[in-house]
Structure 1
Amino acid sequence: MSISSAHAPISASHSCSSEVFGIYFGYKTALQIVRAARGRPLAKLSGARHAVPERALGKSRIEEAIRRVESAYLDVPLERPAHVLVGSPSRCRASGEYALHVCTSRFKGDSFLRLGDGICASAPALAFIQEAARCEDEISLIELGFELCGTYQSWRTGVPTRYRAKPLASVRALSDYVSDNPSVRGSGKAARALRYLADGSASPRETKQALVLGLPMGYGGHGLGIPRMNYEVRANAAARAISGRSSFRCDLCWPEHKIDVEYQSREWHEGEASRLADSRRTNALMAMGWTVIGVTNDELESFAATEGIAQTIRRHLGKRLQVRVSDYHARKLKLRRQLCLPSNE
């Protein structure tokens, strides 16, 4: 397997006679490894169905595998405890370095990635189901799904925050994998979360804005429907003349209603040149009949401002406010707390 020269490849000196005697990493540990690879190819484990090893290979072998993976792939250490999959209860006990997860399922589809020398990691779709199995907060699981299908990374997958990252999955790929593995523990929770995922979110703040506006009222959202994220709109002749651009990316978009909600982060919207480009972009979209609504970081932080923005979007969507859940106000405040947004009014 080819690995960047910045990292030493995993040695084949301890090659096993059969993959079933290897060490398999799962859960968040697998996501951290795959993220850290940063586009370097990880081969899929061949075969129609896969099962994890019946037993772990012992404390020293597991800890050795952790060190080798860190040396080969990571700029930062694996989070401890690392998550290791075994097919049955083992005499090898967990330690501060790793936790063992008994997994008796046989998996269909592309479930594991080969790291070399009998070491494998769960593919992102399987790791998502595994995280669903141990996640008590559905909102946190939805945020993880947005990140896997988005173009950013964060400590949610065990790596430093970075933007313009390559997505690890897509909503379609996650849905297909969950459908193919309905009996795997966590697949039911994963399927429920998938109803509210979208591809293409560019930042954690965009994700939070989409969930506050789009989730059903039962979750404390405004029930506007999950928007399309960073949706591409082709410019017509008038829009091209105004902006000099052939297309636009809309942060949060309801394309059927020509509504574009722009999250105006400080990082990307400061400076006179940026303000001028934003103005031309807005005027160009409006020339094509679009409604453009800007949302600043301060407005996202404000409960009252978010309420006003949601009302504006609802009006343009032509939706009437019909509250059919009890304690709706309390649910909205709870959702904001779950998303680590201020809930003060």
Structure 2
Amino acid sequence: MADSNVYFGYQTALQILRAVDSSRRGVARYDDRKLPDRALGGEALAGIIERLCAMHPGLHIDLPAHVLVGGDAHRRLSRDCIEHVFSASLSGMPFYRLDKGVYVAAPHLAFTNIASAEKSRVALQELAYELCGTYQTRRTGVVSAYDVSPLSSVRSLRDFASANSSLRGARKAGRALRHVANGSASARETKLALVSALPYAQGGYNMGVPHMNYEVEASPAARVITGKSFFRCDLCWPDAKVAMEYQSRESHSGEASRIGDSRRANALASMGWTIVEVTNDELDSLAAMDTIAETVCRHQGRCLRPRISDYRARKLKLRRQLALPVRCGW
């Protein structure tokens, strides 16, 4: 019976997908796309969630869970779930099958779900960077973690939004993705990327979307210096041979790391690359980021010259949206 099925969407879908190995997700058949008219009652839903958590160690679903239903005629209020009416006909692969009668929205559908309700484009862009990156926060998982597999890619998110342009949230998702890249390794790298890439109108430095954790092939001379065949750069603009390296408080400590960093910098310099380091404190300083942006833009062969009268106010607004300090000095 269709009404005994449950379809998880929105943030709940992302929590589930983080914990369920991709090899254990079945592709939902076309016939399985018919959503139930109503959500399951509290006990039935609790039973399904308990069963899923037993099947997939490490899975935790925050309540109320977000579930998709096909109509609003039978909607019920519940502390255990939030019902979202969803009756669109979809192209592509919108759902995975987890168990008999249990389905979860694919990352591209969950992202579009969230876009339909998200008022902040910057928040949506942070979410997209995380979905397409190698880290997770409470936006997509239960706990923060690094070195995780990406849930999606910019191309996959964009293609789904384009193929389902009539879907609520699809256009907003498409606009947000114009300034998103694959491969960010942390939330702070994402914030640095957005501050750098977003256009002047959004308070960014208009540098263009960087390649994240880009592999630069080492020249023969650079291999001699470092013994490495390639170098990974945090934020990179390959055409201009310029990159920004985010230096967190935890990274690159100790004498061995200092020597390795020095050799790496010399090797990249020998290949004509310019590397601009950005510390945690510099990212938190508007004045420091202004100076860094001017340096990077100069190496890109252009000037940082916004023709917007309230550009400073827009920069401050963007920093607040990214939860970055708005202090001007150090």
Which of 140, 148, 158 matches 2:131? 148
- Unmatched segments (≥5 aa) in structure 1: 1-16
Asked if 1:293 corresponds to 2:276, the answer is yes
Match of 1:57 in 2: 40
Q: Would you say 1:123 and 2:106 are equivalent positions?
A: yes
- SS at 1:113 equivalent: strand
Matches within 5 A, 1:285-324: 285-324=268-307
Are 2:202 and 1:246 equivalent residues in the alignment?
no
- Contact residue 132 and residue 186 of structure 1 kept, 8 A: yes
Measured in 1, the distance between the counterparts of 2:28 and 2:21 equals 19
What residue is the counterpart of 2:116 in the other structure? 133
Aligned to 1:337: 320
Q: How does 1:126-275 map to 2 (within 5 A)?
A: 126-275=109-258
- Specify the SS of the correspondent of 2:265: helix
Q: Which amino acid aligns with 2:30?
A: G
Percentage identity across paired residues of the two chains: 51
Pairwise CA distance, 1:37: 1.7
1:112 maps to 95
8 Å contact kept, 1:51–1:105: no
Structure-2 separation of matches of 1:139 and 1:37: 28
Please report how far the alpha carbon of residue 277 of structure 1 lies from its aligned counterpart in structure 2 after TM superposition. Answer: 1.1
1:156 is paired with a residue of what secondary structure? coil
Task: Note the C-alpha offset of 1:264.
Answer: 1.1
Find out whether 1:84 has 2:83 as its counterpart.
no
Q: Distance in 1 between matches of 2:211 and 2:288?
A: 22
1:277 & 1:48 partners in 2: Cα distance? 56
In structure 2, distance between residues paired with 1:140 and 1:63: 30
Q: TM-score by structure 2 length?
A: 0.95
**Which residue is 1:23 aligned to?**
6
Residues 40 and 154 of structure 1: CA distance in aligned 2, closer, same or farther (over 3 Å): farther
CA positional deviation for 1:325: 2.4
- CA-to-partner distance for each residue in 1:239-279, whole Å, 9 max, x for gaps? 10111100011100000000011111122211111111111
Instruction: Please give the per-residue CA displacement for 1:29-53, whole angstroms capped at 9, x wherever unaligned.
Output: 0000000125443111122993422
Partner of 2:80: 97
Shift in CA distance, 74/90, structure 1 to aligned 2, threshold 3 Å: farther
Deviation at 1:172, TM superposition (A): 0.9
Q: 2: distance between equivalents of 1:188 and 1:160?
A: 30
The separation in 2 between residues aligned to 1:294 and 1:305, in whole angstroms, is 11
Q: Secondary structure at the match of 1:107?
A: coil
CA distance in 2, matches of 1:276, 1:48: 60
Partner letter of residue 147 of structure 1?
E
Displacement of 1:150: 0.4
Please give the TM-score of this superposition, normalised by the length of structure 1. 0.91
Matched, 1:37 2:4: no
Deviation at 1:74, TM superposition (A): 5.3
Gaps of 5+ in 2: none
Secondary structure of 1:121 counterpart = strand
Q: CA RMSD in A?
A: 1.6
Any runs of at least 4 consecutive aligned residues in structure 1 with deviations exceeding 4 A, and if so which?
Answer: none
**Residue 55 of structure 2: aligned partner:** 72
In 2, Cα distance between the equivalents of 1:63 and 1:91? 19
Question: Closer, same or farther in 2 for the Cα pair 1:76/1:172, shift >3 Å?
Answer: closer
Deviations 1:95-116 (A, max 9, x none): 2211100011111111001110
Question: C-alpha distance in 2, partners of 1:187/1:213?
Answer: 25
Of 52-61 and 303-312, more deviation after overlay is shown by 52-61
1:241 is paired with a residue whose SS is helix
Cα distance between partner residues in 1 of 2:209 and 2:294:
16
SS in 2 for 1:133: helix
Q: Deviations over 1:264-315 (max 9, x none)?
A: 1122211111111111111110000000111111111111111110010011
* Counterpart secondary structure, 1:32: helix
Deviating more after overlay: 187-196 vs 40-49:
40-49
| Counterpart amino acid of residue 276 in structure 2 | I
Query: What SS is found at the alignment partner of 2:97?
Result: strand
Deviation at 1:175, TM superposition (A): 1.1
Paired residues of 2:16 and 2:59 also in contact (CA < 8 A): no
